[in-house]
């Protein structure tokens, strides 16, 4: 067994399992050891489940020994955000107490896919309460720590706040998140991981505690684009062969790939070192024969304006709580409570006007995207904030608006997007390159991102080791 069996690319680990040069039990023991070493400091999990993980790992090994392959995820450690319903695991959705066991301790389709493939669920990761925010703040349970800053408690992003930390910690090789306005891409970017937001409707939201039934999408975080592509193919209902998808991405180059750049809305007002680092990464892609296209998308600005006006999430979350969990309203995290409670003042006329406005913007944006293969931009325009600076409702709202500026429009226009780590900003924190593609273009987006990762190197290549994990 390698000294660190978790350090290799996911596709290689999966092959090792099938060739029985490593066992699922060895992987899970290595993951448990990593959690025991770093878990108390990093605070990634709301529910850590080592015994359940060991039992599934043993079942995966028994299946391999019998020559049975249950699926690509067999034997691989996976963490799930604590809004995915899963049998045998309490579901808090970031709130102060567990949600009713029925239906929130019953496997939804994505979790059931992991179980069928004998994927090893290591636990459920912390999140912003009811996924309402991108700062990672949670007054009930505390926020995870960003290991890229050993001196201060900085944000890991949200709302899937523990997901990226579980990957850095080494207790998971894939992490389930959800993305309504950036909640996969934000924590992936802030923790130096890769993250995928799929097109609305591509993956079922059944068994996922809702924030916005209009825009919720399940998503994945992983240590690299290559790992992300493997996880996407393993989970996608189309059941793409992950080995074939990665081979396709590895075989293609960037020659002729049209990259849309230059939209001032997506590049303005970035903290020191962010726009420069992303531009340097784009320049590498252009030297690898990608083609730059001057590109602006006015619909992105218009969609952001709808978000600033209040969007749809607050009223749709309020509607869910009123129907399903009315007693939770009086116990909401103080940083989100005012916005959720005030949502009742939104008129039906204004809500429907916003829905119609966003639908019209999505239709108008679609033909513009025909001119490019992907749109490139910084994933985030700011350095991960100090948690002390987002501890109250007013500061949380102000900072959250900056956090989601470059991500929410993707959701509002119905597109898919990936973030990949490309360097560090002047504060030494991770910077992400976001590539955005039309609705339903995940396979093409992933093959382009795989080619980009080959040109740029992985996050480990470009960022090094987080200071909190170096000792």
* Mean per-residue pLDDT, 149-176: 98
The arithmetic mean of pLDDT across residues 13-17, rounded, is 96
Q: Is residue 5 part of a domain?
A: no
Cβ atoms of residues 380 and 186 within 8 Å: yes
pLDDT higher than 60, residue 3: yes
Give residue 72's pLDDT band: very low, low, confident or very high (50, 70, 90): very high
Percentage of the chain beyond pLDDT 70 is 99
For the segment 41-49, the average pLDDT, to the nearest whole number, is 98
Phi, psi of 84 (to 5 degrees): -90, 120
> Which pLDDT value is given to residue 251?
75
Distance CA 109, CA 273 (A): 41
> What pLDDT sits at residue 1?
37
**388 exposed, middle or buried (CB, 10 Å; 0-12, 13-18, 19+)?**
exposed
Residue 324's alpha-carbon distances to 216, 334, 400, 461, in angstroms, are 18, 20, 27, 46
Q: What is the mean pLDDT of residues 106-135?
A: 98
Tell me the whole-structure pTM to 2 decimals: 0.97
**Rounded mean pLDDT, 59-84:** 97
Place 90 in a pLDDT band, splitting at 50, 70 and 90: very high
* Predicted confidence (pLDDT) per residue in 277-300, tens digit: 999 999 999 999 999 999 999 999
Q: What is the pLDDT of residues 333-343, one digit of tens each?
A: 999 999 999 99
- Give 471's pLDDT tier (boundaries 50, 70, 90): low
Give the domain CATH number at 243. Answer: 3.90.1300.10
Task: Give the CA distances from residue 75 to residues 57, 213, 221, 222, 315, in Å, rounded to whole numbers and listed in that order.
Answer: 6, 32, 18, 16, 40
Mean pLDDT of 428-451: 97
61/240 Cα distance (integer angstroms): 24
pLDDT at 460 over 80: yes
pLDDT of residue 248: 78
Give CA angle at 400 (396, 401), nearest 5°. 125
Task: Give the count of domains, the chain.
Answer: 1
Q: Does residue 1 form part of some domain?
A: no
Q: Does 4 map to a domain?
A: no
Mean pLDDT value of segment 425-439: 98
333 domain-assigned: yes
The token duo for 262 is: 């230059």
Quick check: bond before 159 cis, omega within 30?
yes
Task: Give the per-residue pLDDT at 250.
Answer: 77
Q: Which two tokens stand for residue 279?
A: 């531009």
| Residue 239 reports pLDDT greater than 90 | no
Cα dihedral 241, 246, 252, 254 sign: positive
Domain membership of residue 428 as a residue range: 10-469
pLDDT reading at 2 higher than 60 = no
Residue 3 inside a domain? The answer is no
* 441 has pLDDT over 60: yes
Q: Chain-wide mean pLDDT for the chain?
A: 96
Those residues with Cβ within 8 angstroms of residue 123's Cβ, 6 or more apart along the chain or in another chain: 45, 46, 47, 48, 49, 53, 79, 80, 89, 166, 171
Q: Report if residue 432 sits inside a domain.
A: yes
Residue 79, beta-bridge partner list: 123, 175
Q: Does residue 220 fall inside a structural domain?
A: yes
> Which residues are known catalytic residues?
81, 159, 183
Residue 21, pLDDT above cutoff 90: yes
Segment 120-137 mean pLDDT? 98
């Amino acid at each position: 067994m390698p000294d660190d069996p978790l350090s290799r690319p996911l596709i290689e680990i999966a092959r090792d399992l099938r060739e029985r040069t490593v066992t699922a039990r060895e992987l899970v023991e290595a993951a448990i050891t990593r959690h025991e070493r770093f878990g108390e400091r990093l605070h990634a999990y709301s529910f850590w489940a080592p015994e359940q993980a060991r039992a599934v790992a043993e079942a995966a090994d028994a299946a391999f020994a019998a020559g049975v392959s249950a699926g690509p995820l067999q034997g691989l450690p996976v963490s799930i955000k604590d809004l995915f319903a899963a049998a045998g695991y309490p579901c808090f959705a970031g709130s102060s107490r567990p949600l009713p066991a029925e239906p929130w301790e019953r496997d939804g389709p994505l979790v059931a896919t992991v179980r069928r493939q004998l994927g090893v669920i290591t636990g459920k990761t912390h999140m912003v309460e009811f996924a309402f925010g991108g700062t990672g703040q949670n007054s009930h349970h505390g926020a995870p720590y960003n290991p890229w800053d050993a001196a201060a408690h900085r944000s890991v992003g949200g709302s899937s706040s523990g997901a990226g930390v579980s990957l850095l910690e080494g207790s998971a090789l894939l992490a389930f998140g959800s993305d309504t306005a950036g909640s996969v891409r934000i924590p992936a970017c802030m923790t130096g991981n890769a993250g995928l937001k799929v097109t609305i409707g591509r993956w079922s939201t059944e068994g996922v505690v809702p924030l916005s039934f209009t825009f919720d999408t399940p998503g994945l975080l992983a240590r690299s684009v290559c790992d992300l592509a493997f996880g996407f193919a393993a989970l996608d209902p189309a059941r793409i062969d992950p080995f074939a998808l990665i081979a396709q991405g590895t075989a293609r180059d960037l020659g002729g790939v049209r990259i849309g750049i230059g939209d001032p809305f997506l590049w303005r007002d970035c903290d020191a070192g962010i726009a420069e680092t992303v531009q340097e990464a784009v320049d590498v892609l252009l030297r690898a024969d990608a083609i730059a296209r001057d590109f602006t998308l006015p619909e992105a600005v218009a969609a952001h304006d709808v978000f600033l006006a209040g969007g749809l999430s607050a009223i749709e979350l309020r509607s869910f709580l009123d129907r399903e969990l009315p007693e939770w309203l009086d116990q909401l995290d103080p940083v989100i409570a005012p916005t959720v409670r005030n949502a009742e003042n939104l008129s039906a006329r204004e809500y429907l006007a916003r829905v119609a406005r966003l639908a019209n913007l999505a239709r108008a944006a679609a033909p513009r995207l025909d001119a490019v293969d992907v749109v490139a931009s910084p994933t985030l325009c700011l350095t991960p904030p100090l948690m002390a600076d987002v501890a109250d409702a007013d500061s949380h709202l102000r900072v959250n608006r900056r956090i989601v500026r470059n991500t929410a429009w993707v959701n509002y226009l119905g597109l898919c997007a990936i973030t990949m780590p490309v360097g560090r900003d002047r504060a030494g924190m991770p910077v992400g390159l976001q590539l955005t593609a039309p609705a339903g273009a995940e396979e093409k987006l992933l093959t382009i991102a795989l080619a980009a990762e080959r040109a740029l190197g992985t996050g480990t290549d470009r960022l090094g080791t987080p200071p909190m994990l170096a000792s």
